[in-house]
Amino acid sequence: MSAPLRKVIHCDCDCFYASVEMRDDPSLRGKPLAVGGRPDQRGVVATCNYEARKFGIRSAMAMSQALQRCPDLIVMPPAMEKYRAASKQILAIYRDYTDLVEPLSLDEAYLDVTDSPHFRNSATLIAQEIRQRIFDTVGITASAGIAPNKFIAKIASDWNKPNGQFVVRPHEVDEFVAALPVDKLFGVGKVTAMKLKKLGAFTCGDLRAWTVLDLQRHFGKFGGSLYNLSRGVDRRQVSPSRERKSVSVEETYVTDLQDLDACRRELAPLIDLLRQRVQRAQAERHIHKLFVKMRFADFRRTTAECVSTIIDEAACYRLLDTAYPRGNRPVRLLGVGVRLEEDEDFHQLGLFGEETTDAPGAGG
């Protein structure tokens, strides 16, 4: 049975800690820079910029060794609160496009945009806008990989670094994966890679000559994973780490809505879709607030909300009339949703739960 086709984006900020430091101190740009522990205390490199990488410096290297390779290396201690603040901004951007966001670290996450309505469900365009917004709002660059699953998306995000993206379409998966070295496979470390190479498997194409039973005989249960991954099959889901507290629908428009009247004309179909999604999530009895949100052409966003236990169309239009004057300019995104009461008996929602905030977004 083949895995269902999905649209997964893997976003990875470029040399994250170092990029934040260069953002805050432009005089560091163009100079080799590493963020990490002190060399006299057995410190290691947490990350380094691309100027430092030219000297062979990499993450997890001893800082003392890094300084031997580059005596002019600038070493800075980590400023975790600053990095967490930047990460929070970035996650907020991701969640504007899909509810299915799985953070892997402060600077890296998977997004499942299979059912995202943005840009007519173009994962490529979604990734492009996300990367642009990260640059505009956080002041650093990010790279992205787009593919039918997590395994391939993560590899693809490294293909055009820094500040690039790479797409592997479903019909390209077989050829793309066949040429990959075996140490690119998820879960394959140095020891397993060495064992595979001793057995004559240097690429995923080589590995395909093995039956699943042969692989299991050599690698146990992991042999099944090797069999699937070497064929580009990865059934892992993108798993959000947060509980969903609302249901909403939204649309990003290719051409901005120019005024309030244009927004009012677009609201009715969104309300209809919201009703369908709330019903599908069996969330009707948990509604306690209604909201309308919009993002203006300058990326500022706002949300107007009111107490309501039903999806009241007239109330939605009143909220729209309240929200629009806050920006009073063309609108690129319009959404409507409901907030849900916390209820011990209410199970976590499905795909379309979403949290929103009333404050201007990071793009403001």
Query: Of 129, 149, 169, which residue is a domain's last?
Result: 169
Does the CA dihedral 28-34-35-36 come out positive or negative? Answer: negative
Say if 21 falls within a structural domain. yes
Q: Quick check: 311 and 348 in contact, CB under 8 A? A: no
DSSP E strand boundaries for the chain: 8-13, 33-36, 45-48, 74-76, 101-105, 108-112, 142-147, 165-167, 246-257, 287-296, 301-307, 331-340
The count of domains in the chain is: 4
Give the CATH number of the domain where residue 284 resides: 3.30.1490.100
Say if 111 falls within a structural domain. yes
N-to-C CA span, the chain: 46
> Mind listing the pLDDT tens digit for each residue in 4-26?
589 999 999 999 999 999 999 99
Q: How many CB atoms lie within 10 A of CB 340?
A: 21
Say if 361 falls within a structural domain. no
Residue 62: predicted pLDDT: 86
Asked if residue 285 and residue 334 are part of one domain, the reply reads: yes
DSSP 356: -
Asked if residue 275 and residue 253 are part of one domain, the reply reads: yes
Token code pair at residue 338: 């409901």
Give the CATH number of the domain where residue 162 resides: 3.30.70.270
Asked if residue 336 and residue 257 are part of one domain, the reply reads: yes
Q: Quick check: 86 and 74 in contact, CB under 8 A? A: no
Question: Over its length of 364 residues, how does the chain's per-residue pLDDT go in tens digits?
Answer: 455 589 999 999 999 999 999 999 999 999 999 999 888 877 779 899 999 999 999 987 889 999 999 999 999 999 988 998 999 999 999 999 999 999 988 899 999 999 999 999 999 999 999 999 999 999 999 999 999 999 999 999 999 999 999 999 999 999 999 999 999 998 887 778 889 999 999 999 999 999 999 999 998 888 999 999 999 999 999 988 544 578 888 887 778 899 999 999 999 888 988 888 787 667 788 888 999 999 888 768 899 999 988 999 999 999 999 999 999 999 988 999 998 875 433 333 332 233 332 222 222 2
Token code pair at residue 16: 């994250």
- Residues marked as catalytic: 108
Q: Quick check: 162 and 16 in contact, CB under 8 A? A: no
Say if 224 falls within a structural domain. yes
Give the CATH number of the domain where residue 197 resides: 1.10.150.20
Radius of gyration from C-alpha coordinates of the chain: 23
> Is position 14 annotated in a ligand binding site?
no
Say if 128 falls within a structural domain. yes
Say if 138 falls within a structural domain. yes
Say if 358 falls within a structural domain. no
Could you give the angle at the alpha carbon of 344 between the alpha carbons of 338 and 348, nearest 5°?
A: 55
Asked if residue 98 and residue 70 are part of one domain, the reply reads: no
Query: Of 181, 201, 229, which residue is a domain's last?
Result: 229
Residue 178: φ, ψ to 5°: -55, -35
Say if 51 falls within a structural domain. yes
Give the CATH number of the domain where residue 37 resides: 3.40.1170.60
SS3 assignment, position 105: strand
> Is position 72 annotated in a ligand binding site?
no
> Mind listing the pLDDT tens digit for each residue in 281-316?
677 888 889 999 998 887 688 999 999 889 999 999
Residue 5: predicted pLDDT: 80
Residue 19: predicted pLDDT: 97
| Structural domain containing residue 264 | 246-340
Asked if residue 225 and residue 158 are part of one domain, the reply reads: no
pTM comes to 0.66
Asked if residue 252 and residue 295 are part of one domain, the reply reads: yes
Alpha-carbon distance of 34 to 66, in angstroms, equals 9
Residue 181: φ, ψ to 5°: -65, 150
Asked if residue 185 and residue 135 are part of one domain, the reply reads: no
Residue tagged 């004309």 (tokens) = 265
